[in-house]
Amino acid sequence: MTFIACVCSRIWRPAARRAGKARLTLNSMGCRIISHSVFFETTPMQLRFLILIFLFTTISASAWEVPEDAQPLPDLKLDSGEAFVRGNSIYLRLRQLPANGKLNIPRLANVLERIQWVGDDSGATMTMWPEIHYWELRLHRKPPQPSAMVLELILDGPPVLFDRDPIAIPNRQGVLSLPAKFARTFGEKLRFEGQPHKNTVGYWTIAEDYATWQLQPATGEFDVEIYQGCGKGHGGSLVQIQIGDQELNFEVEETGHFQNFRWRHLGRIRLSGSRQTQLKLVPMVKVGGAVMDCREIRLVPARKPQLRMAGRNIDGTRADGRDVQSDQPNVLIVLTDDQGTLDAGCYGSRDLFTPRIDGLANAGIRFTQAYSHTVCCPARAMLMTGRHPQRSGVTSWTQGDLRAKRGINMATEEITIAEALKGSGYRTGLTGKWHLGAAADAGPTTQGFDYFFGHRGGFIDNFNHFFLHGNGFHDLYHGTEEVFHRGEYFPDLTVQKATEFLTDHLARHPEMPFFLYSAFNIPHYPEQGDSKFDQYYCRTPMPRQSYGRMMTTVDDRIGRVLNHLDRLGVRENTIVVFQSDNGHSEETNHIRVDNHSSGLPKGHKYGANGGGGNTGKWRGRKGTYYEGGLRVPAIISWPHKLPTKLVRDQAITLCDWMPTVLDLCKIKLPNLPLDGKSLLPIIRGNAESHHKVLHWQWQNRWAVREGDWKLIGSPRGKPELVNLADPEPERTNHAKEQPAVVERLEKLHREWIESVTRNP
């Protein structure tokens, strides 16, 4: 071929130069004209050489075809081509090269010894990523002849094909092992890395990529464990395991290196052995450069370890053999601070990253007409007592400073949900924000909580833990003792102390159910969100950008508490209630004095940057009686005991959580005069709301709602009558055209105020 090419070039080149219209390319794989623009004259000798070149190229191409004695292999299906077999070789005739350079070869069980283009025996033309049920070939070189793309796969023996994807089945101990090599990967980058030091599902650099395993489970409960690795600086991604309609969320932990694997317990699921099931591993939020490496997932039959601790077994049974309270559920109430009406993905705010709140809604019941109070303290009194705040004396903000001479405190005679549960055998804890009084007899530990870590006032700087209004004061307590953790991020302290409470409780009091109240102090200002979430809001305008970072921060910290429940194996027996205390804030504040007790300079800004919350079609914010100040997100979840993926549109209030929780825990307190009602008829039977009329009062302002009518009263102006069914609700005052409605609602409000201020 080289000789012919040289002769051809000698004969052709003078004519080509004369014509100036053609270019001849010669290479080791053949000889062809690759460009010409016009017809030009050739001599008879030149024409004969052109025919010779054409014939030679045609003959050479036949050497790059599938051997004639190779047999079709129809069971090996390719996206674009056919497979043939001869001896230990498989020939793949491709109709076109894959656009991304990747070729998947499914269901091949052999060991691949060599791979090459037919007609090019140099080998090493591509990278091989073998999996147990398919190979991925990354093509680094083009075929020697574009018109005949044939790959030869030289195997360790005759081809062996799997009938289908591998299905994991339990071993003798009932354990389901799902190694990385059993996974089917989907997406652009994720793949099985078969090198001995890896043997992992890895290269997970795109959040949309995911992996699946097929399994045939037994019936029962299983602890889910993962063998994961993650490099330094890449941790924090949120990943979800999906099995049927069950979901487990976990946060990827750094292990120092992607191939430094550690076992982690993720939680517990319940499976039925009636049919084949798929397990899906999918990222919800990618934080670092890569999600993680996963070498194996295990489903281990749930067992109760018989470790003796303080006269008890760790599974909750007494060491002396007597029964304990094993049927009562645990309770976790999560309250966020100043989270707006629609500020979660599950409520329609698709610009916010709130996968843990969204996951909780997916695993439970989400309410679209959940009402709180318009400011913080009355709302928290409603949650703690199940009664209107006028009954408990918390009609406005309470004082948070223990050194204060005066201030509002929740009445000590009020029976809180913590006291009701504690009196029924629960151990109780609170981490986060109290804000129901700072008097010696009005703190959490005198209102039913065995454990308290947090602040008593309305807010603190998240790093120096000072209340910043006025001259400020330090506000961080463990029980009744002031403690100092300067420089430590308070949302992280809230999670840390919550997990310590849970771990200590299960170690020391396994026979007792627990009640944990995690009252996060964000997204309330000062807006000090975790900077690692900046990447999600870099294109979001202010103030939504700052607010969004705070929302993702609190979502992440809620997830950490839920993850700890999973790690401890108690999530399935834990009722989780989630709600915000009021609508989003639009306050703007700054330090107004010199020598502020916090050390921060005069003029330091710590407000809400003008807002950032999303109310959708509704109007208002915190401190108003429009829907944007009163209507908040609310969710309840209890795996296998309450419905999932359910939405309820009935009106509920923060007062309803106490009777609902007591109802679920089968605690009867017949003499407890509550304004709230159990939500179980709404949850389980879609009953009508028992709130025919809703009332609010704060300082001299008030509101009452009946049906779609809402009357907002103020001593400084005329009543404002709005209709929530208006196309643009709360923007038109119907008071003049509906005087009878105004009169009726005013009367209802007067009667209500008279009834609740008697404080029965």
- DSSP for 646-662, written as a single string: EEEEEEEEGGGHHHHHH
- Fold assignment, 692-760: Arylsulfatase, C-terminal domain (3.30.1120)
Q: What percent of the chain has pLDDT over 70?
A: 79
Confidence of residue 289 (pLDDT cuts 50, 70, 90): confident
Query: Could you say which architecture CATH assigns to the domain 330-588+595-679?
Result: 3-Layer(aba) Sandwich (3.40)
44-58, 69-83, 621-635, 736-750: lowest mean pLDDT where?
44-58
d(CA 8, CA 49): 7
Residues facing residue 84 across a β-bridge: 72, 91
Closest of 430, 397, 391, 392 to residue 410, by C-alpha: 392
Residue 631 has a pLDDT of 97
- Residues 6 or more apart whose Cβ sits within 8 Å of residue 293: 193, 198, 200, 201, 202, 204, 228, 229, 230, 258, 259, 261
Residue 111 pLDDT more than 80? no
The confidence band for 144, taking pLDDT boundaries of 50, 70 and 90, is low
User: What mean pLDDT do residues 726-750 have?
Assistant: 95
Between CA 235 and CA 251 the distance in angstroms is 8
Write the class of the CATH domain 71-155.
Answer: mainly beta
Token pair listed for 492: 């992280």
- Write out pLDDT tens, residues 701-727: 899 999 999 999 987 778 999 999 999
Could you tell me what percent of the chain has a pLDDT over 90? 47
Structure-token pair, residue 238: 């949120």
Name the residue ranges covered by the structural domains of the chain: 2-63, 71-155, 170-303, 330-588+595-679, 692-760
Mean pLDDT across the stretch 406-419? 81
Q: Which pLDDT value is given to residue 21?
A: 35
**Under the phi-then-psi rule, with left for phi > 0, alpha for psi from -120 to 50, and beta for the rest, what region is 725?**
alpha
> Lowest mean pLDDT: which of 120-124, 160-164, 205-209?
120-124
Are 533 and 552 in contact by the 8 Å Cβ rule? The answer is: yes
Which whole number is the average pLDDT over 78-89? 84
Tell me the pLDDT tens digit for each residue of 291-313.
999 999 999 998 643 323 233 33
Residue 660 has pLDDT above 70, yes or no: yes
Residue-wise pLDDT for 583-599, tens only, equals 999 988 888 888 888 88
Alpha carbons 43 and 47: distance in angstroms, whole number: 6
d(CA 316, CA 571): 15
What per-residue confidence (pLDDT) applies to 68?
Answer: 87
Please list, in sequence order, all residues whose beta carbon lies within 8 angstroms of the beta carbon of residue 403, skipping any fewer than 6 positions away.
473
The pLDDT-based confidence of 138 (bands split at 50, 70, 90) is: low
Confidence check: pLDDT of 151 > 50: yes
Of 38-47, 69-78, 270-279, the one with minimum mean pLDDT is 38-47
* DSSP alpha helix (H) spans, 576-679: 627-630, 657-664
Of 476, 480, 479, residue with least CA distance to 490: 476
Q: What is the pLDDT of residues 233-265, one digit of tens each?
A: 888 888 999 998 888 888 898 898 998 999 998
Question: Is pLDDT of 177 > 60?
Answer: yes
pLDDT at residue 179 tops 60:
yes
Q: For residues 38 and 14, which has the higher predicted lDDT (pLDDT)?
A: 14
What is the value of pTM for the model shown? 0.64
Q: Is the pLDDT of residue 31 over 50?
A: no
Instruction: Establish whether domains 71-155 and 692-760 are of one fold.
Output: no
Question: Is residue 387's pLDDT more than 80?
Answer: yes
Position 113 scores a pLDDT of 74
Exposure letters 214-248 (e unless 16+ CB within 10 A, then b): bbebeeebbbbbbbbbbbeebbbbbbbbbbeebbb
| pLDDT for the residue 329 | 97
pLDDT digits (tens, 9 = 90+) for 499-552: 999 999 999 998 899 999 999 999 999 989 999 998 889 899 999 999 999 999
CATH fold of 170-303: Jelly Rolls (2.60.120)
**pLDDT value at 326 more than 90:** no
d(CA 475, CA 477): 7
